[in-house]
Amino acid sequence: MEDNKRIKWYALATMGFSTVWGFGNVLNGFIYFNGIQVILSWIIMFALYFVPYALMVGELGSAFKNEGGGVSSWLHQTTNAKLAYYAGWTYWACHITYIASKGSGGLKAVSWAVFRNAETYDSFPTLYVQLATLAVLLLGCFIASRGLNPLKKLLTLAGTTTFIMSILYILMMFAAPAINPGAEYVQMDFSLKNLIPNFNLTYFTSLSILVFAVGGCEKISPYVNKVENPSKGFPKGMIALAGMVVVCAILGTVAMGMMFDPAEINANFDAYAANGGYWAFQKLGEYYHIGDFLMIIYALCNTISQFAILVLSIDAPLRMLLDNEHTHQFIPTALQKKNRFGVHSNGILMVVVLSGAIILVQSFVPGAAAVLRQLTKLNSVCMPMRYMWVFVAYLALRKAIDKIPAEYRFVKNQGVAKFFGGWCFLVTAACCLMGMYDEDMFTFALNVITPVILTLLGIILPQIAKRERAGQKAVKS
């Protein structure tokens, strides 16, 4: 690639920023970590986890620049097909809980766009809300089963718009006191005592929220070797990305601190977890005397985004798992079956059963707001589990450093490289395990049972495939 066609480091940082960061990350951090006390936690998380994570991803992407399967392909090249299967399975299984949350999130967004308040949606009986969520899931699976992804362009548009609005929120909130000095704002205490978090059980069991927020940068790994001077340009871009994210996280937290009182949030936690983003834009509109205009735009963008992500999350992870020729030996033939549209119909049926089960189980939860809070926590437990395979692949790559060349290396020292690989793996695992705990026993049980069932299913399938092959050999002989 000619130098004038290579990606500049600052362009890479911008690409990564829009991929990794979002308004919901600021909101969840503020809500779950007692307002501006989350600032110190963000700084620690970025310095000790996100930066080394991103740089390790860069090395993996550089070493396997021609591999298109992501983590699964990396593990196949560094270890064996069995671990590659488990990585692909984990990536797919994590999306089961994610898919279950998208229908609820989409319906909540529709309610805000139409009724412009939190009370209407939350007043509906949970059973009816979950049945409607199940209907949305079935519709999404039907669209995916037809091999159609008509929502990709809409998702890109909605995602870009939502991203722009999250930046706009920070700018407009900081300007609000000058434009409307008579409005009510929360007075924040920036004393050291108020900025240091309470390192209690609630704090440590919520860390998975932050890990979930900063993960996923492996999506930009294909661009490592397209960066101008990768050995210097990529780490510079990743450090710039981390800087942009931490600045956005801190400024976003301060902006929310001007608007919301943590004491009020803690007193109405489920309501804020479910509606905080909409209240933020609604209040912002009040400050600028434009009513619910900003909130409606945010709700409409979120509606399109949630439903589009639902369809893509049904389709894309399933293709990554079942279209990988290196792992076919571990998957029963029934799951590999395709319909006339070239879609794995039985795989989609499995999505219906598993995601549908989560949706129906939550029919017994008292209140629609509590359902959304539960799903946020469940996703923070399950989704980061896929990141652990990134660090397994990295440790395997460094073990084979003499056999597998890479244009870019995170660090030259093997001991330092392995330390960070192991460190990030342990941090991810610990946060997922601690995140399972919840004072509400139903939520606690859901956080434990869901990943256990998905893991056991992933272990059972290769055994079924093995018996199938043995049966076929017996018939032939």
Can you give the pLDDT at residue 1? 46
Tell me the pLDDT tens digit for each residue of 167-199: 999 999 999 999 999 999 999 999 988 899 999
Contacts 24+ apart (CB under 8 A), 260-266: 260/30, 260/35, 260/186, 261/35, 261/186, 262/34, 262/35, 262/36, 262/37, 265/30, 265/31, 265/35, 266/34
Residue 43 has pLDDT above 80, yes or no: yes
Q: Is residue 398 over pLDDT 50?
A: yes
Q: Inform me whether the pLDDT recorded for 142 exceeds 60.
A: yes
332: Cβ–Cβ under 8 A, 6 or more apart, which residues?
461, 464, 465, 468
Q: What is the pLDDT of residue 417?
A: 96
pLDDT at residue 4 tops 60: no
Higher pLDDT, 27 or 152: 27
Cα–Cα distance for residue pair 241/235, rounded to 1 Å: 10
Question: How confident is the model over 36-45, as a mean pLDDT?
Answer: 95
- Distance between CA atoms of residues 106 and 111, nearest Å: 9
Provide the pLDDT for residue 238: 81
Label residue 477 by pLDDT band (50, 70, 90).
Answer: low
Looking at beta carbons, which pairs linking 266-272 to residues 24 or more positions away fall under 8 Å?
Answer: 266/34, 269/31, 269/373, 270/367, 270/369, 270/370, 270/372, 270/373, 271/118, 271/122, 271/369, 272/31
The label of the residue with tokens 């043995």 reads: 470
Residue 411 above 80 pLDDT?
yes
Greater confidence (333 vs 21) lies with 333
Find the mean pLDDT for residues 373-399: 95
pLDDT at residue 403, as a whole number: 92
Q: For 360-377, what is the mean pLDDT?
A: 92
- Taking only the tens place, the pLDDT of each residue in 340-356 is 888 899 999 999 999 99
pLDDT for 385 beyond 80: yes
Counting every residue written for the chain, the total comes to 477
Give the model's pLDDT for residue 223.
Answer: 76
Q: What is the mean pLDDT of residues 34-42?
A: 95
Q: What is the pLDDT of residue 82?
A: 94
Per-residue pLDDT for 224 more than 80?
A: no
At residue 235, the pLDDT reads 83
What average pLDDT does the segment 355-380 reach? 94
End-to-end CA distance of the chain: 54
- Mean pLDDT, the chain, rounded, equals 90
For residue 320, the model assigns a pLDDT of 83
Q: Is the pLDDT of residue 10 over 90?
A: no
Q: What pLDDT is stored for residue 152 in this prediction?
A: 64
Query: How far apart are the C-alpha atoms of 278 and 261, rounded to whole Å?
Result: 16
pLDDT single digits (tens) 256-272: 999 999 999 999 999 99
How far, in Å, CA of 94 to CA of 154, rounded? 24
Q: What are the tokens at 314?
A: 């049904």
pLDDT > 90? residue 222: no
Which pLDDT tens digit goes with each residue over 269-311?
A: 999 999 999 999 999 999 999 999 999 999 998 998 898 889 8
**What is the per-residue pLDDT for 374?**
94
State pLDDT tens for residues 47-74. Answer: 999 999 989 988 988 888 777 667 888 9
Paired with 7 in beta bridges are 227
- What does the pLDDT average to over 152-163? 73
* pLDDT per residue as tens digits for the range 16-26: 887 788 889 99
